[in-house]
C-alpha cells in the first residue's frame, strides 16, 4: 500500500512539472491608418492589405553596445510575429512604406504586491519517504528572495513618407517568470493580436507556453 502511495505521489509531482504555463497580457491597441479618419474608426480602404514591407527604426539608446544586441533579438522576435500577418522586412529599406519601432521594458520588484512586506523565518514541514514508511519532518525555513517582474512591450508603426504614427500597441505582463525568448515572443504575439485592425479598448490576451 505504501509503495502504491509513493508511486502516486511521484506521478503527481512529474505531472506538475509538465504541461503549460499561461502568459496573461494586458493589451491595448490604437489604429489610425488614415489622417482623415478619427482615431478608432476604420475605413476598409485605408487599412493596408497584406503583403506589406517595412523597415525597423531605433532610438539612439538602442543602437550601441549591449542595448543594440538586445534590440537585435527583440526585432527578430517582432519580425517573426509580423510575418504571420503578412508583413516582412523590406529588402531595400529606403523604399519601405512603413517604419516599425519596438521597445521593451522590465521592472524588477523585490516581491509581488501581495507578498508579506516583513519576511521572517517560517515553520514548515515535508513528507519524507524511506524504508516503506512516511515521516513528517518539521523544519524552519529561511525566507527566499522571490522577485516580481513587470514587463511591457510596445510596437509603433509609422508612415515612412510622413512620419505619422498609424498604429500603436502595447502588452504588459507581470509575474515571477524569468526572462526567456519564449516569454517575450508571447508578449509580442499578444501585442499584435488583431493587427492591423485590433479590437477597441483594453483587453486580455492569454498565450499558453510549454514549461
In terms of Cβ atoms closer than 10 Å to its own Cβ (0-12, 13-18, 19+), residue 185 is: buried
Q: Is the pLDDT reported for residue 172 higher than 90? A: yes
- What does each C-alpha distance from 35 to 54, 167, 202 come to in angstroms? 19, 12, 23
pLDDT in tens, 74-98: 999 999 999 999 999 999 999 999 9
pTM of the model: 0.76
pLDDT in tens, 143-163: 566 889 999 999 999 999 999
Tell me what the mean pLDDT of segment 138-143 comes to: 54
Domain ranges of the chain: 23-116+147-210
- What does each C-alpha distance from 86 to 134, 151, 159, 197 come to in angstroms? 59, 27, 17, 13
CATH number given to 23-116+147-210: 3.30.160.670
- Please report the pLDDT score of residue 1 as a whole number: 44
Write the DSSP symbol of residue 194. Answer: T
pLDDT in tens, 35-71: 765 545 555 558 999 999 999 999 999 999 889 999 9
Looking up cell 522571490, which residue turns up? Answer: 146
Amino acid at each position: 500500500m505504501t509503495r502504491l502511495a509513493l508511486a502516486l505521489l511521484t506521478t503527481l509531482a512529474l505531472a506538475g512539472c509538465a504541461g503549460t504555463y499561461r502568459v496573461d497580457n494586458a493589451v491595448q491597441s490604437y489604429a489610425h491608418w488614415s489622417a482623415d479618419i478619427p482615431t478608432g474608426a476604420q475605413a476598409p480602404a485605408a487599412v493596408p492589405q497584406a503583403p506589406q514591407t517595412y523597415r525597423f527604426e531605433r532610438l539612439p539608446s538602442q543602437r550601441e553596445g549591449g542595448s543594440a544586441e538586445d534590440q537585435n533579438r527583440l526585432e527578430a522576435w517582432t519580425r517573426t510575429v509580423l510575418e504571420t500577418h503578412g508583413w516582412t522586412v523590406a529588402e531595400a529599406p529606403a523604399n519601405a512604406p512603413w517604419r516599425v519601432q519596438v521597445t521593451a521594458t522590465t521592472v524588477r520588484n523585490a516581491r509581488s504586491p501581495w507578498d508579506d512586506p516583513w519576511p521572517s523565518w517560517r515553520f514548515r514541514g515535508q513528507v519524507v519517504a524511506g524504508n516503506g514508511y512516511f515521516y513528517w519532518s518539521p523544519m524552519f525555513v529561511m525566507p527566499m528572495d522571490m522577485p516580481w517582474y513587470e514587463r511591457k512591450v510596445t510596437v509603433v508603426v509609422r508612415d515612412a513618407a510622413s512620419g505619422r504614427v498609424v498604429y500603436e500597441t502595447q502588452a504588459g505582463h507581470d509575474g515571477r517568470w524569468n526572462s526567456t525568448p519564449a516569454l517575450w515572443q508571447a508578449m509580442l504575439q499578444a501585442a499584435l493580436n488583431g493587427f492591423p485592425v485590433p479590437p477597441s479598448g483594453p483587453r486580455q490576451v492569454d498565450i499558453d507556453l510549454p514549461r
